[in-house]
Each structure stands twice: as C-alpha cells, then as structure tokens.
C-alpha cells in the first residue's frame, strides 16, 4: 500500500466532521457581542441606546454568519465532486476548517473598530482572513483535481475547469479588497461582501455536474 | 439547468446542519451565567446568597432554553413538509438559524436587567428578537409554500393553510409583546412566554399531515 | 389524531439532538479554567506554581466531565427502551438536557471555592444541581413508563421495575449529599462521586433487556 | 449476562459522540485569541501592530488545531479496529476525550507566555498535556487489544503489534519533550510538533489492516 492509496472510499466521515466545525464556528460568532455594562443608573432609554450603539457588532455578526454559511455551501458542493479521502486531502481540508474556525476572531476585531478609529486596519484584517481562506480552498482543490486523482468518475472535465476558474479568482479579489480596505474601510468591506454574492452565483453555476 | 432547479432532492443535510446550530445555541446559553466574584471573606452563606441573587440569570436561561427547544421542534416539523432544497430556501433557513444563534445575546441582556433598572428595555429587546425570528420563519415559509414549489406531494393543501395562519400570527403577537414590555416588563415577558405555549399547540395541531 | 398520538415512530432525531447537547456541554467545561494572570515578572517557576494552584479547577473539570459522560450513557440506555416520541416526552427530555447544559455553571462555582472559603456552599450547590437533574430523569421516566405508553414491546416489565427503582433512589441520595455538603464539603462531594459509580453499576445491571 | 459482555455490537454511537467532542474542542480554540484592547486613540497602524503582536496566539492556535486534527484521525483509525463497545472501553475513550477537551487551556497558557517570560514553563505544561493524552490512548488500547477482546476478527495480529508499538512510544517521547522544554522552550515545542508528523506517519503505516 503506497502513500497514494485513499484512506476511505467515501467522504461521509470528513463531511460530518466538517459540518460540525462549520455549525460550531457559525454559532460561536454570537460570543463576540458583549452585554453593555451600564453600571448603576441604567434607565430603559440608556439601555436601548447602548444596545443600538452595538450596530457594528450586529453588522459584523450578520456578515460573518452569511460568509460562513456560503463557505459551508461551497464546501459541500466541493465534496460532492470527491470520491475518496487520503492524507493530503485531509490536511488541506483541515486548513480550510482552520480558517473557518478563525473567522470569529476577525469578526470581533471588526465589531470593535467599525465606525470608530482603526476601521481600515480592522477591515483589512477581516478581508485578509478570507484571502487566506481562499488560498486554503485552492490548496484543497490541488489535492483533488490534478490527474482527477480523487474526482468522482461521473464528473465531466468541464465542471472541474469551471470550479478551478472560480476558486482561482478568489485570492485575487480578496487580495484586492485588503488593499482597498486600507484606503477606505467601507469600500473594502463592500467588495468583500459583493464577492460572496458573486461566489455563490459562480459556484452555483459551475459546480453542478 | 435553471436557477429554479433544486440543489438536493432531500433535506437531510440541511436538517443535520440546522440541528447542530440549534444544539450549540441552546448549550451556549449557560455561558451568560457568570460565577459571582465575592473576593476575600466569602462565607458559605454569602456564596449561597449570591447564587440565589442570580435568579434573573436562571430565569432567562430556562426561558431561552425552552424557546430554542420549541423553535427546534417547529423547525423540524416544518422541514417534514419540504421535499427539496434550493438556494432561496437555504438562505431563508440561514436567516432562521441566524436568529437562533442570536438568542444567547438578548438572554444575557435580560439576565443583566430583569428585576433591576432597565428591565423594560431589556424585555422589549428580548421580545424584539423573537419578532425578528418570526419574520424569518415567515420568509422561510415563502420560499417553500407558494405554488407548492418545494412542498412534498403527500401534504394536503389544508395543512399548508393552517401552518401559514399559525406562522403569520407570530410577528403580530411578538410585535404586541414588544409594545407591552415597554409599558410593563413582566407583562411583556408573560405574553412572550404564553406565546410559546400557544405556538407549540398551534403547530402541533396544524403541521401534522 | 389526539394529543396522545406519538410525533415520530422512532427516537433517532431526539437521540442525535440530545447527543449533540451532551457533547457540547462536556466540551464547554474547559472554559471555566482561566489562564492565570501573572502580570509582569512571571518566571517559569511562578507560572508552574500558578498552574498547580488551579487544582480545584482541574478536579471540578474531571468530576463534571465524567458525570456528564455517565449521564450520557444513562440517557442512551434509557432511550433504548423507548419506541416513540410525543410532546410530553420531548419536553421532559428537554428538562434533562436543561440540567446537562447547566452543569458548567456549578462546576465553575465549585472550582472557584473548593479548597477555599465557601467550599461547603459551593459543593451543596453542585450536589443540588444533580438533585434537580435526577428529578428531571424521573419526570422523563414518567412520560414513558406508565401503562408502557412509549415502551418498546420487547422490553420485559421486570426491566422497567429495576430502572424505576434505580432512578427513584437518585433524588433521595443526591438530596442527602446536599445536606452532607453543608456539614462537610469533601464528604458531600465524595457521596456525590460515589453515587455516580453506583449509578453506572445499577443502570448497567438494570437497564439491559 | 456478565459485566464482560459488550454494550453494543457496533461503535457508531461512540464514534458520533467522539467526533462531536473533537469538532467542538477544535473550534473552541479560537476563544483563546482575545481582541486587543487599545482604548482611545487606536489608529490603523497601532491596531495592525497589536494584531501582529498576537503571533504567539496564532501559532498556538494553529499548532493545537492540527494536533487535535491528528488526534481525531488517529482516534478514528483506532475505532476501525474495534468491533464492540463495553464499559471499560467507554470510560477509557472518555479519558481520551477528556484530554482532547482539555487542549484549549494549555493552548491559551502557551499563547500567553510564548515569546515572553515563563515560556519554558508554558511549553512544558503544553507538552505535559500530550504526555497525559498519550497515556489515555494507551489505556484505551488496553481495553481493546488484550486477548483481542474487542478487536474485529478481520484485523491481523501484526497490525495490532504495530499499533501497540506506535502508541507505546508516545508517552516516552512526550515525556522527553517536557524535559526538553524546561531547558529550552522552542526545542521542546519543536520535538512536540515533529512528533505529530511522525505520529501521523507511524499510524498511517501501521493501522491499515
């Protein structure tokens, strides 16, 4: 048995583990929103005002929630192309999950600085996370597609080509959003967000066998 | 293949992911209860008194636990009407899960202010969360029921009508509980709570094919 | 269809959801152990001493970990007697899960006071949690056993009798451990711990059809 | 029925529960990375510098993420040798999961002290965790292998021998890394890390029937 031989013939176990990590990471996002500490003399009005002032936290929460949801959908669509699991794929998939798990941290940084000082730095860091995540998705692709080593036999080559093109555009555009964020926080965040919409659409059209 | 075609023929994967998010959100509730910091000179009596003084945290924990449990039951009953998954449904379901994930935050706010200053504001915010959640449930319904686009063929129309009526009453009554809370915290919370009992009963009677 | 009719014919879904809650609650226990804040001038010796001084946290962590593990085993053994799910059972099971979810809090209280002031109060609170949990297990039993309403047909009556006796002894002995803890912390904790060993043995012998 | 008789004929349920604990522990790692508190006057440059200064947290996060991933792979490979579950195995498996659940704490200690004072103590504590984990893996092995009591009939003896040798080397080398860490933090951490690579390779070659 060579190191090339697959560990398992189907991807069910990796899928279940990955789904678990996605579900937990998406739920941990809420922990970044902290209850406002009003001390003594908290009136209803002051409380509601303090809750309203947390809008950057809510926005960061909603954005990251839907990013992780889209990453989950893409991950699942990707796994439908895969017929078996080996160690290179397992660790590349681990790198993707590492980035998913990391998302709550840049989300908390974003929440702390959006609409305040340091917003450009926070958005750049936030976009850089997805730059790294898109690299990880590309590494995962490289453990599956070349010579169709782990690709299901019923997936046509043109589907692989389209998925490959969609994945390769990721690092480029996320890299651009980092640069843009350093110039204008909202512009960088908008590019990041619009990318997710685009990404959904691209993958939807490209990864269906 | 048009954008209308379903992604998957059964809902198993979405169900498993959603169940994971429900299970995690319900368990994260406990993190809002903080160990009382008594400093030096903590006697057994002082500790037990401090633990007793946390009753708003316990109450908020228990209420939110059973709300999420009921939301989970309803979600599952709903999914039993669905025959396939497409993108609009996936994102509407994501909006429902977003609100489920959000629950620990208003629960912590409620725990911090119930029986103290700012109680009306805290209860109003708590009820407003379920107002938003009931809107999300209605959006999810709208991605499934119209023209029976994703409804199982063995579900009779009258079941859909009853579920639709039950769901539509949600935003109305939760909106009312927000208003009521701003006038009297306990009255608002009582309406919210009684709604859950009603909701269980309504759905139990209405969603059984 | 009456309110007595079961919701589902098998318990698979409730089992998966419950297992999720058990797995999450058992893992959240680690969050009660806080990194010692040594400030400036932290030498290796001071750090290791500070880590050693956290022994009450480690002890509380290990105890609660194995309690939740045993509760999970018992829960699963119990579900093997059940043939169907209805609302009363669902909510009684919810009460059991509520107590499981609650465990990290008394664990943190125990960790903060064991071997220090307030130890008796902390252990009494810890034991009281399992008193409440054992009540919840008895309520769950009452939604399943009477008239064998949700019991599998292949489970003999004598098995039910033995499980019933084992469950009924729970509140009695946990109640005793609360009283004992108020007199001597370590004695109360020892009774609580030995109960788990006994409990495992009792259930192992009694719940096997 | 004696206390030796297996509880269940297959390991599916233990596997699902264990996978849940692994997935949650790996995701909780992110909670150790705290948002830098810059107070007023946070510029983009200061924020990015503060985020860069968190490199020990990132390093500790990445290391622990891949350790837990490798522990998960090994755990799964091990379970593929097991044909049934009984109480001794269940509690030994619980001890392994206890150590997995514990990992976020030494990770946070490592993050707080790496590249600062107390680094040797922190790395020694970190390595000691995996020393304990490797002991737990060996205890688990002892509940399964002797007299092939819970081993699948299609697993040849030589596979068991190789797995046994690989597992037995664990405590020795992790013990060495603890000693090494007390002399030089980076050397100890490097030995720990290289062990994981070795471990993967050993297990890959040895546990394949």
Lowest model confidence (mean pLDDT) among A9-13, A157-161, D64-68: A9-13
CB neighbour class for A41 (10 Å; exposed up to 12, middle 13-18, buried from 19): exposed
Whether A13 contacts chain D with CB within 8 A:
yes
Q: Is residue B48 part of a domain?
A: yes
pLDDT at D205 over 60: no
Subunits with at least 3 CB pairs below 8 A relative to chain B? A, C
* CB within 8 Å: A22 and B25: no
* CB within 8 Å: C61 and D16: no
Return the number of other C-beta atoms located less than 10 Å from residue D94's C-beta.
Answer: 23
Q: Is residue A58 part of a domain?
A: yes
ipTM summary value: 0.88
The residue ranking higher by pLDDT, C74 or D22, is D22
Q: Is residue B99 part of a domain?
A: yes
Q: What is the pLDDT of residue D4?
A: 47
Tens digit of pLDDT for each residue in B46-73? Answer: 999 999 999 999 999 999 999 999 899 8
pLDDT at B82 over 70: yes
Rounded Cα–Cα distance for residues D62 and D74 (Å): 18
pLDDT at C6 over 60: yes
With cut-offs at 50, 70 and 90, classify the pLDDT of residue A207: very low
Q: What is the pLDDT of residue A6?
A: 63
Q: What is the pLDDT of residue C76?
A: 86
Residues of B in contact with C16 (CB under 8 A): 16, 19
Tens digit of pLDDT for each residue in B106-124? Answer: 999 999 999 888 999 999 9
* CB within 8 Å: D47 and A121: yes
Q: What is the pLDDT of residue B209?
A: 41
Q: Which two tokens mark B33?
A: 């209860």
Q: Sign of torsion, CA B149 B152 B154 B157?
A: negative
Rounded Cα–Cα distance for residues C102 and C136 (Å): 13
- How many domains would you assign to chain D? 1
Whether B45 contacts chain C with CB within 8 A:
yes
Tens digit of pLDDT for each residue in D116-170? Answer: 889 999 999 999 999 999 999 999 999 999 989 899 999 999 889 988 988 888 8
What dihedral angle (degrees, nearest 10) is formed by the CA atoms of A155, A159, A164, A170? -120
Whether C196 contacts chain D with CB within 8 A:
no
* CB within 8 Å: B24 and A23: yes
Which among B91, B122, B92, B86 is positioned nearest to B107, based on CA atoms? B122
pLDDT at D199 over 80: no
Which among B167, B188, B35, B178 is positioned nearest to B92, based on CA atoms? B167
Lowest model confidence (mean pLDDT) among A146-160, A170-184, A191-205, C5-19: A191-205
Residues of C in contact with D128 (CB under 8 A): none
Residues of C in contact with D21 (CB under 8 A): 23, 26-27
With cut-offs at 50, 70 and 90, classify the pLDDT of residue B101: very high
Mean pLDDT for the stretch of residues C93-109: 96
Subunits with at least 3 CB pairs below 8 A relative to chain A? B, D
Residues of D in contact with C30 (CB under 8 A): 25, 28, 101-102, 104-105
Do C13 and D10 form a contact (C-beta atoms < 8 A)?
no
Q: Which residue of A has its CA nearest to B106?
A: A35
Whether D102 contacts chain A with CB within 8 A:
no
Q: What is the CA radius of gyration of chain C?
A: 20
pLDDT at C197 over 80: no
Q: Is residue D7 part of a domain?
A: no
Report the residue of C24, C51, C111, C156 to disrupt the D interface, i.e. the one with the largest count of D CBs within 10 Å.
C51
- CA of B208: how far to CAs of B33, B81, B195, B204, in Å? 37, 9, 20, 7
- CA of D12: how far to CAs of B162, C9, D15, in Å? 39, 21, 5
Mean pLDDT for the stretch of residues A132-157: 93
The pTM of the full predicted model, rounded to 2 decimals, is 0.91
Q: Is residue B6 part of a domain?
A: no
Rounded Cα–Cα distance for residues D17 and C72 (Å): 10
CB neighbour class for B156 (10 Å; exposed up to 12, middle 13-18, buried from 19): exposed
Q: Which residue of C has its CA nearest to D31?
A: C31
Report the residue of D57, D64, D94 to disrupt the C interface, i.e. the one with the largest count of C CBs within 10 Å.
D94
Q: What is the pLDDT of residue D186?
A: 94
Q: What is the pLDDT of residue C122?
A: 95
Of B90, B101, B118, Cβ closest to residue A73:
B90
pLDDT at C114 over 80: yes
The residue ranking higher by pLDDT, B41 or C83, is C83
With cut-offs at 50, 70 and 90, classify the pLDDT of residue A3: very low
Q: What is the pLDDT of residue C106?
A: 96
Rounded Cα–Cα distance for residues C89 and A168 (Å): 51
Of B20, B25, B118, Cβ closest to residue A43:
B118
Q: What is the CA radius of gyration of chain A?
A: 20
Whether D118 contacts chain C with CB within 8 A:
yes
Q: What is the pLDDT of residue B12?
A: 82
Q: Which two tokens mark D142?
A: 């002892």
pLDDT at A92 over 80: yes
Whether C186 contacts chain B with CB within 8 A:
no
Mean pLDDT for the stretch of residues A199-207: 52
Do C94 and C136 form a contact (C-beta atoms < 8 A)?
no
Report the residue of B98, B108, B114, B124 to disrupt the A interface, i.e. the one with the largest count of A CBs within 10 Å.
B98
**Which residues 48-67 of A are in CB contact (within 8 Å) with B?**
48, 51, 61-62, 65-66
Q: What is the pLDDT of residue D111?
A: 94
pLDDT at C208 over 60: no
Range of the domain at D180: 12-206
Smallest CA–CA distance, residue A2 to chain B, in Å, is: 33
Q: Which residue of C has its CA nearest to D93?
A: C69
Report the residue of C24, C29, C132 to disrupt the B interface, i.e. the one with the largest count of B CBs within 10 Å.
C24
Whether D89 contacts chain A with CB within 8 A:
no
Tens digit of pLDDT for each residue in D74-113? Answer: 898 899 899 998 888 999 999 999 999 999 999 999 999 9
Q: What is the pLDDT of residue C203?
A: 52
Q: Is residue D4 part of a domain?
A: no
Of D28, D32, D120, Cβ closest to residue C27:
D28
Rounded Cα–Cα distance for residues B121 and B114 (Å): 10
Do B28 and B106 form a contact (C-beta atoms < 8 A)?
no
pLDDT at C191 over 60: yes
Q: Is residue D187 part of a domain?
A: yes
Mean pLDDT for the stretch of residues D53-73: 93
Tens digit of pLDDT for each residue in A11-52? Answer: 888 888 999 999 999 999 999 999 998 877 788 999 999 999
Mean pLDDT for the stretch of residues D171-177: 92
Q: Is residue C5 part of a domain?
A: no
Of D46, D65, D208, Cβ closest to residue A101:
D65
Q: Which residue of B has its CA nearest to C27?
A: B27
């Amino acid at each position: 048995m060579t190191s090339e031989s697959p560990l398992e013939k189907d991807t069910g176990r990796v899928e279940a583990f990955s789904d678990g990590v996605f579900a937990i990471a998406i739920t941990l996002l809420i922990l970044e929103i902290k209850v406002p500490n009003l001390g003594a003399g908290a009136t209803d009005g002051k409380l509601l005002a303090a809750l309203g002032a947390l809008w950057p936290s809510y926005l960061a929460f909603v954005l990251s929630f839907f990013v992780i949801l889209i990453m989950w959908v893409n991950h699942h669509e990707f796994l439908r192309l895969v017929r078996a699991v080996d160690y290179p794929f397992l660790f590349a998939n681990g790198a993707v999950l590492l980035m998913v798990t990391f998302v709550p941290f840049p989300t908390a940084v974003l929440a702390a600085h959006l609409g305040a000082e340091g917003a450009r730095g926070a958005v750049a860091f936030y976009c850089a996370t997805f730059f790294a995540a898109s690299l990880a998705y590309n590494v995962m692709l490289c453990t599956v597609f070349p010579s169709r080593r782990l690709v299901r036999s019923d997936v046509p080559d043109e589907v692989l080509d389209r998925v490959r093109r969609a994945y390769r555009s990721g690092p480029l555009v996320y890299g651009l959003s980092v640069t843009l964020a350093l110039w204008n926080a909202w512009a960088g965040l908008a590019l990041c967000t619009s990318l997710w919409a685009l990404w959904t659409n691209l993958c939807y059209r490209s990864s269906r066998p």
